[in-house]
Amino acid sequence: MRICDGRVVLVTGAGRGIGRSHALAFAAEGAKVVVNDLGGEVDGSGKSTGPADEVVEEIRGMGGEAIANGDDVADADGARRMVQAAIDHFGHLDTLVNNAGILRDRVLANMTPEEWDAVIHVHLRGTYLPSRVAAQYWRDMTKAGETNDARIINTSSGSGLFGNPGQTNYGAAKSGIASFSVIAAKELARYGVTVNAIAPGARTRMTAPLGMGADYVEGTFDDTAPENISPLVVWLGSNESAAVTGRVFEVMGGRVGIVNNWSRGPWRDKKDRWAPSELGSVVTELVAGAFPPEPLLPID
C-alpha cells in the first residue's frame, strides 16, 4: 500500500517549483490532489490557469486523480472555494499543504509599505485563510461524530527562523508561519488534526536569482532540487504521521532535521525590580552564556 492511498490533498502554489513537486509526489503515493495555483509571477502580479492545469495533466498521465483550482489563497472566498472543491469532487479533505508565496525583496530602509503588505498578505494571510476553512471543516466533522486523521503542513523558511538581510517582509511572514503552526497544532489536536511546518531549501523561481543551485555539477546529486523537499511533506501528510505535531522541520537535499522553537537561554532573577544601571553587566553575562545566532544555511 502507498502511504497516501485514499487521502485527498490540497496543495497551494502547486503549479511550479516545490508545490508542483509536492503535488506529483502525493499523487505517486496514491493521493487525490487539488492543485491550487493562481498562476502569477514571482512578485505576485498576473494570473494564469496554465501552471495548475499542466500539473493536473501530469498527474492524470501517471494514472492519478487531480483537479485544478485557480483561487487566491489570500482571498477569504477563494480559500473557501478551494477547500470546497476538494470536498465536492473527492468527497472529503485529509491534508492541506500551504505552499504558495511571493517575493518582494528590499532592504528595510528602502522597502515600501506596498512591498511589505504584499508579502505578508500572500504568505501569512494565505496560510491562515485555507487553514481556517479546513479547521472549520474538520471541527464540524468531529461535532458530527466523525473521526479525523487530518494534516496541515505549512511552509516557513530559514529567512524567518535565522534571518536573511533584504527580507524583513518575507522573514517576518515566515517566522509568523512557524509560530502559527505551533499554536494551531495545540488548538486542533482535539479534532484529530496535526499541524507541522517545513523550512525548505531548494532552487525555485524565487531562489534561483539569489544563486541557489548555481554550483550544481551535472551528473552529481542535485542538492537544491525541489523534489528533495517533497518526501518529508508527503510523509507528514500521510496516514503514518499522526504522532508528530507542532514541529518545524528543516529540509534541503538529503538533510532532514528539527528546528527547535524559541527556547529559554540563560537568565538571572534578582527577586526584585532591576535598576537600569545594574543591567549592563547582567545582560553582557547573559549574552556571553547564550548560544550564538544560527547561520542561515546548515553547516556540515
Cell numbers representing residue 239 in the block: 496516514
For the entire predicted model, the pTM comes to 0.91
Q: Are 287 and 267 in contact (CB under 8 A)?
A: no
Least confident of 41-45, 47-51, 195-199, 225-229: 41-45
Least confident of 24-33, 67-76, 203-212, 244-253: 203-212
pLDDT band at 205 (very low <50, low <70, confident <90, very high): low
Which residue, 44, 35, 32, is CA-closest to 16? Answer: 35
Which residue, 194, 189, 80, 187, is CA-closest to 130? Answer: 80
| Alpha-carbon 260 to chain mean position | 16
**What's the mean pLDDT in 259-278?**
94
Cell numbers representing residue 205 in the block: 523561481
The pLDDT of residue 209: 63
Radius of gyration over every alpha carbon of the chain, rounded to an integer in angstroms: 20
Is residue 54 over pLDDT 80?
yes
Q: Are 38 and 130 in contact (CB under 8 A)?
A: no
DSSP-assigned letter for residue 275: P
The pLDDT of residue 200: 95
Distance CA 222, CA 215 (A): 10
Catalytic residue among 128, 137, 170, 191: 170
Q: Are 35 and 59 in contact (CB under 8 A)?
A: yes
Least confident of 49-53, 268-272, 290-294, 295-299: 295-299
216: annotated active-site residue: no
Catalytic residue among 21, 32, 174, 175: 174
The pLDDT of residue 218: 81
CATH code of the domain occupying 8-259:
3.40.50.720
Alpha helices per DSSP H over 91-229: 113-120, 126-143, 158-161, 168-188
Cell numbers representing residue 128 in the block: 491562515
271: annotated active-site residue: no
The pLDDT of residue 219: 82
Catalytic residue among 21, 131, 156, 157: 157
In this structure, the number of other CB atoms found within 10 A of the CB of residue 130 comes to 27
For residue 269, the one-letter residue type is D
Distance CA 6, CA 59 (A): 15
pLDDT band at 94 (very low <50, low <70, confident <90, very high): very high
Is residue 211 over pLDDT 70?
no
pLDDT band at 229 (very low <50, low <70, confident <90, very high): very high
State the average pLDDT for the chain.
Answer: 93
Q: What angle do CA 232, 229, 298 make, to 5 degrees?
A: 100
**What's the mean pLDDT in 277-297?**
93
Least confident of 39-43, 68-72, 125-129, 182-186: 39-43
128: annotated active-site residue: no
Q: Are 14 and 38 in contact (CB under 8 A)?
A: no
